[in-house]
Amino acid sequence: MGELFARMRRSPQGLLGMILVATMLVIAITGPWIAPYDPETFAPLLRYKPPTFEHWMGTDQYGRDILSRLLVGARSTVLMAMLASALGTLAGALIGTTSAYLGGRADEAIMRTIDAVMSIPSLLMALLIVTLLGKSSVNALFAIGIAFTPGMARVTRSVALAVRKQDYVSAAIARGESARYIVWREMLPNVVAPIIVEMTIRVAFAVMLFATLSFLGLGAQPPKPEWGLMVSESRKYMGQSPWMILWPSLSIATVAIGFNLLGDGLRDALNPRT
Amino acid sequence: MSILSVDDYSLDYAVPAGLRRALDGVSLHIDRGEVLGLVGESGSGKTSLAWAIMRYLPESAKESGRIALGSQPLTGATPGEIAAIRGKRIGMVFQDPGTSLNPTLTLGAQLSEVLVLHRGLAKKEAETEGEALLARVGLRNPAAMMRRYPHEASGGEKQRVVIATAFACQPELILFDEPTTALDVITARQILDLFAELQEETHVASLYISHDLAVVSAIANRVAVIHRGHIVETGPIGDVFARPRDSYTKMLLEAVPRPGHRIVATQPDAQSAPLLAADRIGVTYGRKSFVSSLLGRAQERFAGNREVSLTIRPGEILGIVGESGSGKSTLAKALTGLNPFTGEIRFGGRAIANLRAMDEAYRRDVQIIFQNPDSSLNPRQRVREILSRPLALYGETKGGKTRDVIAGLLEQVRLPAEFADRFPHQLSGGEKQRVAIARAFASNPKLVICDEITSSLDVSVQAAVIALLVELQRIHGTSYLFITHDLNLVRQIAHRIAVMYRGALVELIDVSRLPEGAVNGYTRELLAAVPAPLSARA
């Protein structure tokens, strides 16, 4: 693990990605305590304020402090995106590895089903699921997780197929191990590295998908300080106070870039040939 | 004047931990018409030396000393000078013709490219010359061979094309890097004969790199023994092999299998009922596709095994030999339930007709050890977990603590108990194979199938692993099904030998009746092709 960090630090994108993601995580965890104001308290006298010394990023249409809203909202945006990616990754990895392990007709049936699901764009898929389950942050999380599953299953299966041919899997079958043990203990640990890279890059997509769902009014509901929702609400006031839409947009972009860089760095660091 | 002179040449590779020495003060000379055999185990630096002579080193290489071809120094030559030398004055033949030829170009195109580039022939002339060269290396119908792609030729034919390419420009020096290791015994023999013939005719200076002492003793004039980047002994082949001075050379020669030298003392009871009887085992590969079954099309299926019948008695070591693709491993997989099969297996009197009938008792009694421990040990599991699985599955701990049982298993294969906490990548190749052996013996099996278990190991490590297997067999009375392509090795330990050819069993013979007793033509051919053991020549 220590060696991995050392290798990450050597590549510029890995280092920058680590810094950005670490900062975001610190904000997501400590946000509510370091926020200078309450994110949901209306202040009718302080509406549409440009950045000042009291309000570093200005205030919104109800006079709420934008910095505080961003700090508190980081949790529901970044952490939710990571959870959704983890959910999709876990489900996809399990399906992909099992499919590769079973092989033959079962593999064919599973992968063609996955293909069918994959032909629906992930945003459309997420919209469909949220519409069915109802509007809420938790449902959006499930929707994104499910939307990510087919892609992850594909990536995992391609790696797992190579692992399936290794003699340690043959040895386990010859020994009479259960399918569960072979998939969980023999195969999954050996497909983890490429999956982690894929997952990291997908977190960036998840942040944007979350923001998109909230923007469309299907994810977090007002007055929650969710970043996508903030962008959506401030759209109407773009003309008179542009910083209202600027700050949350910049935050979303930063997280997406951070996770993308981290993924690139991880890919290089986990590849023994570089 | 020597064709190739290497003087006090040292090579280091820069690795994150500092410099790693690959070659240490190497000096050697090859004269015209001479074959120098360079013998060493894996990691000894023999291939690094070949690349150093070819001037094809990674950027991390740091070198000192001097390499010269005739009067021209190679160390410090400009890229332009090197390009003029490679292929023209120094030829090279690699280990695996499957990877040294470009799969997207015809064999003819790859051969004539060299002729156009280095001998300045026109395209038409190069093709005619190429055909002559292919005829020279013993390929029938060279014109057709010129138009073929590498996948349309066999391994032996491809290696002949590579040799033709190396000899194409009448180079002064040819480097051979294990040119027969990837080939079957009979094909390898033919390539060696061809090499001797061409060598005689062209008087080229050759550096022949190999780990196989028997091969080197058959073709080289002089031999250099390399150990950890250091040449420990050089001299005429007869001197070095008959009267080795260095302790490493002695150890290496000691480890080479000699068929006359039996190392198994036990004899199975000829009267006892067979432990395992395979009756007309057949394995076919390939799945009938949905579309062709819908259209009622018959599909050609590849037969891995055709009606193989054999028996193994308790305490017997049955050797199975044959070239790659002859169905040896397919049989091993059928017997361990990794391949569906037709026919019937009788084990200890019980009939097993299909995979489902292979219950826990059968799987406990029949264990398999694979060829390559790198792939048969899960890289993400510690030795402790690897060894604890058979114990957990078959309940062999007998009330004892798992920790103690694992220590006992490691002890049995001569490994320290603290290896239990290591990962496979922290062990050497021989140690990994010992862990695999310990895993197979954890369930106290009655039959252990050894599938080429020593072919990925160096000769000295191989000798130790074989000694261990023989010792375990003596203690436990286990039967072995010992699959190998090394006839000399199997004749040392097996009681009977089964010869397989294209999926069928062609001969099953008691080892004491070899070589005279062999009746099958293929068996005789195989026996004749095996490089004669050292003791016979030295």
Q: Tell me the per-residue pLDDT of B479-494, one tens digit each, with 9 for 90 and over.
A: 999 999 888 889 889 9
Bond into A225 cis (ω within 30): no
Of residues B414 and B537, more confidently modeled: B414
Examine the pLDDT at B412 and tell me if it is beyond 60.
yes
Quick one: tokens of B193?
A: 């004969």
Q: Bigger pLDDT: B100 or B269?
A: B100
Q: Measure CA B38 to chain center.
A: 17
CA distance A228 to chain B (A): 41
Over pLDDT 90: what percentage of chain B? 33
Q: What is the pLDDT of residue B180?
A: 86
Confidence of residue B44 (pLDDT cuts 50, 70, 90): confident
pLDDT at residue B536, rounded to an integer: 44
Q: Do A174 and B360 touch (CB under 8 A)?
A: no
pTM for the whole thing? 0.82
Instruction: Please report the DSSP string for B451-511 in residue order.
Output: ESTTTTS-HHHHHHHHHHHHHHHHHH--EEEEE-S-HHHHHHH-SEEEEEETTEEEEEEEG
Q: Which residue of B has its CA nearest to A191?
A: B380
CB contact under 8 A, A174 and B439: no
Residue B31: pLDDT band by 50, 70, 90 thresholds? very high
Global ipTM: 0.80
State residue B537's pLDDT score.
44
Q: Which residues of A touch B389 (CB under 8 A)?
A: 172, 175, 177
Q: What's the gap in Å between the CA of A165 and the closest CA on chain B?
A: 9
Token pair for B403: 């920790």
For chain A, what is the mean pLDDT? 85
Q: What is the mean pLDDT of residues B169-177?
A: 91
- Tens digits of per-residue pLDDT, B64-74? 999 999 888 99
pLDDT at B448: 95
Interface test with A, best of B367, B378, B437 (most A CBs within 10 A): B378
What was the pLDDT predicted at B398?
A: 62
8 Å CB contact of B381 and A104: no
d(CA B83, CA B117): 11
Q: Is B390 on the interface with A (CB under 8 A)?
A: yes
Residues B429-444 pLDDT 10s? 889 999 999 999 998 9
CB contact under 8 A, B372 and A168: no
Q: Is the pLDDT of residue A272 over 60?
A: no
Interval B435-460 mean pLDDT? 90
Q: Looking at beta carbons, which residues of chain A come within 8 Å of B439? A: 171
DSSP string, B418-444: GGGGS-GGGS-HHHHHHHHHHHHHTT-
A177 chain-B contacts, CB cut-off 8 A = 389, 393
Question: What integer pLDDT is reported at residue B538 of this predicted model?
Answer: 41
Q: What is the model's pLDDT at position A274?
A: 45
Average per-residue pLDDT for chain B: 87
Spatial CB neighbours of B427, under 8 Å, sequence gap ≥ 6: B383, B419, B435
**B389/A104 touch (CB, cutoff 8 Å), yes or no:** no
Cβ distance B381 to A189 less than 8 Å, yes or no, reads: yes
* B361-385 residue pLDDT tens: 899 999 999 988 888 999 888 999 9
Q: Is B381 on the interface with A (CB under 8 A)?
A: yes
How many other C-beta atoms lie within 10 A of the C-beta of residue B92?
23
Lowest mean pLDDT segment, chosen from B159-173, B241-255, B386-400, B470-484: B386-400
So what's the pLDDT on residue B43?
Answer: 81
Report pLDDT digits (tens) over A175-233. 888 999 999 999 988 888 888 888 888 887 888 888 788 878 887 787 788 888 888 88
Chain B nearest-CA residue for A178: B393
Cβ contact (<8 Å) for B389 and A176?
A: no
Cα–Cα distances in angstroms (integers) from residue B404 to residues B382, B384, B391, B409, B421, in the given order: 16, 11, 12, 9, 13
Nearest to A232 by CA among A210, A255, A254: A210
Residue of A nearest to B359 (CA): A176
